[in-house]
Chain A
Amino acid sequence: MTKVSSIPRTSRNSVLDLVEMSLRSVNQLLHDTRDGDFLIRNPRGAHAIVCGLDGNLKVTIEGHVGYYCAGMNKRAHVTVIGNAGTGVAENMMSGIVHVRGDASQSAGATGCGGLLVIDGNASARCGIALRGLDIVVKGSVGHMSAFMAQAGRLVVLGDAGDGLGDSLYEAQLFVRGAVKSLGTDCIEKELRDEHRAALRTLLDAAGVRNIDVAKFRRYGSARKLYHFHVDNAGQY
């Protein structure tokens, strides 16, 4: 992609208004910037806002965002003061993405690292195919969350919908409320001291205080689905 040359060199603490600037020019400006604070106004549900950031940026978005906001995020700290559409922070690598409202389906999908915090609820397939990202949802998550999640953690302060952790690999799931049903090969596991300590550290990082970590239940893989069993050889 060619660089947008008409954009003035950015200064710290810039306000970027999506009514006045095109989304592409805002994203390009942030790609060309290594640090600074930015406030984005009038997102109005647009897609792919602040995708692919790679810098010590602090970006606040004032309003609701559409699909894939902060996808592939590296190092940047992105705050959405509003709701997020499908696939917020999908495949993020590092940094922090914080949604102050609700998130739509597939929040944090395939995320490799960093921290995604959702203050409200996340709908279906939250943390699908997770690969190392930590997700903290202060509300509840929808059905098929953490489907085929390989690594990383999904922490839910509220409830989880049907089929939690279906076909799970080695991601760790912690739910404080009710789980409607567990997916295939997902089982409850003992919450030991080391899990409680790790949970405490993660919740601190997510800004969650005054929560009794002993109230969480831990879920993980029964490891029966992803290992080959000779007894099942006839079914292949």
Chain B
Amino acid sequence: MCGIVGLFLKNEVLQRNLGRLTGLMLRELCDRGPDSAGFAIYGDERKGITKLCMVNRDDVVDWSEVADRLASTIGADVAVEEIEDHAILRTTGSGEIARKWLIDNIPSAYVLSQGTAIETFKGVGNPAAIIERLALETRAGTHSIGHTRMATESAVTVAGSHPFSTGDDTCLVHNGSLSNHNRLREQLLRKGERFQTENDSEVAAAYLASRMRGGDTLQRALENGLRDLDGFYTFLVGTREGFAVIRDPIACKPAVIAETDDWVAMATEYRAIAPLPGVEHAKIWEPAPATAYAWSHAA
């Protein structure tokens, strides 16, 4: 099970409604993933600023103190915006260095993502309640991806919820399960990738991050994944400019894509696309197995 949605806006007028439309889509897939949910919204870029999205593990985290310690360590400004149990740290420093320091030094919180555009939120429980608590429907932006989870390969925890970060401004949501994730995790650990969970999807995220760090484009990394990732999957990968979809060669895990002049939507099922404006004029198709599809705002 699990449900995936993605919405890529071509028409700028719709950007202020991104969160509302993503919420409509995600709510349709609550019953495919009733145990947790998460989403990434791309937008609100500010020149020279990197955003680090974090969520506390169980205790209350003193985010101001975290920001102060991070600022003095990396020698750059760090501002905090608290949203429920989440915090967005905005820094003028290096996101990559900040992420590593936060993982190593703030065990009471998880780092969900880093980048100039991405903001990531996740929670455990009924997806509709998570959408409301974290005010998804008020958010604006250029594109989004979301996930409702029915856990298979690891525990139901906030860390095990999707999306998983795959590096700067990229993240992954997964419907399926991988069978070679333990071996692959060991190989990736030796290459210096950092893990925060026992989750198979996090391994796929780290795999793509590692490939892209090694020079692969997203497209190439996904194609290499067809060889190296053993299991069932539909992946939706968010990037700063857009998103990409790929299904494994057997393609048991469903996926449907719809496109109009105003937007591109991807979802596990059509019913998540049905509430979108103008859907009656959409071109609708199923992505073919082992084929990457990508949309980008970059010219």
- B-binding residues in A (CB < 8 A): 44-47, 64, 66-67, 83, 85-86, 102, 104-105, 123-124, 142-143
Ranked nearest first, the 10 interchain pairs of A and B with the lowest CB-CB distance are: A45-B271, A45-B270, A44-B274, A45-B274, A123-B286, A64-B270, A66-B271, A124-B251, A44-B271, A83-B284
Is B269 positioned at the interface, with any CB of A under 8 Å from its CB? yes
- What are 26 A-B pairs at a CB distance below 8 A? A44-B271, A44-B274, A44-B275, A45-B28, A45-B269, A45-B270, A45-B271, A45-B273, A45-B274, A46-B271, A47-B271, A64-B274, A64-B284, A66-B269, A66-B271, A67-B269, A83-B284, A85-B270, A102-B284, A102-B285, A104-B254, A105-B251, A105-B254, A123-B251, A123-B286, A143-B289
Within 8 A of A (CB), among B266-298: 269-275, 284-286, 288-289
Q: Which B residues are in CB contact (< 8 Å) with A105?
A: 251, 254, 286
Q: Which A residues are in CB contact (< 8 Å) with B288?
A: 142
| B21 CB, nearest partner CB in chain A, Å | 15
Question: Per-residue CB proximity of B7-48 to A under 8 Å, as 1/0?
Answer: 000000000000000000000100000000000000000000
Q: Which residue of B lies closest to A84 (CB)?
A: B270
Cβ-neighbour of A83 out of B251, B254, B270, B289 (below 8 A): B270
Contact check, B286 vs A102: say whether CB atoms are below 8 A apart.
yes
Q: Which residue of A lies closest to B247 (CB)?
A: A124
- Beyond the given pairs A124-B251, A142-B251, 7 more chain A to chain B contacts, judged by CB atoms under 8 angstroms and listed by A's residue number, are A44-B271, A45-B270, A46-B271, A64-B270, A105-B286, A142-B289, A143-B289
Within 8 A of A (CB), among B87-136: none
* CA distance in complex: A83, B274 (Å): 12
With A64-B284, A83-B284, A105-B254 already in contact, the answer to whether A124 and B289 are too (CB < 8 A) is: yes
- A-binding residues in B (CB < 8 A): 28, 251, 254, 256, 269-275, 284-286, 288-289
Contact check, B286 vs A104: say whether CB atoms are below 8 A apart.
yes
Contact check, B285 vs A85: say whether CB atoms are below 8 A apart.
no
Q: Which B residues are in CB contact (< 8 Å) with A123?
A: 251, 286
Q: Which residue of B lies closest to A144 (CB)?
A: B250
* CA distance in complex: A170, B293 (Å): 38
* CA distance in complex: A92, B274 (Å): 26
* CA distance in complex: A143, B248 (Å): 13
Q: Which residue of B lies closest to A65 (CB)?
A: B270
| B60 CB, nearest partner CB in chain A, Å | 41
Contact check, B254 vs A86: say whether CB atoms are below 8 A apart.
yes
Q: Which A residues are in CB contact (< 8 Å) with B251?
A: 105, 123-124, 142-143
| A82 CB, nearest partner CB in chain B, Å | 9
With A44-B274, A105-B254 already in contact, the answer to whether A85 and B284 are too (CB < 8 A) is: no
Q: Which B residues are in CB contact (< 8 Å) with A143?
A: 251, 289
| A152 CB, nearest partner CB in chain B, Å | 23
Q: Which A residues are in CB contact (< 8 Å) with B256?
A: 104
* CA distance in complex: A104, B251 (Å): 11
* CA distance in complex: A142, B249 (Å): 12
* CA distance in complex: A44, B254 (Å): 17
Most buried by A among B28, B271, B284: B271
* CA distance in complex: A66, B256 (Å): 11
Most buried by A among B272, B275, B288: B288
* CA distance in complex: A67, B271 (Å): 10
* CA distance in complex: A44, B276 (Å): 11
* CA distance in complex: A104, B286 (Å): 7
| A14 CB, nearest partner CB in chain B, Å | 23
| B33 CB, nearest partner CB in chain A, Å | 15
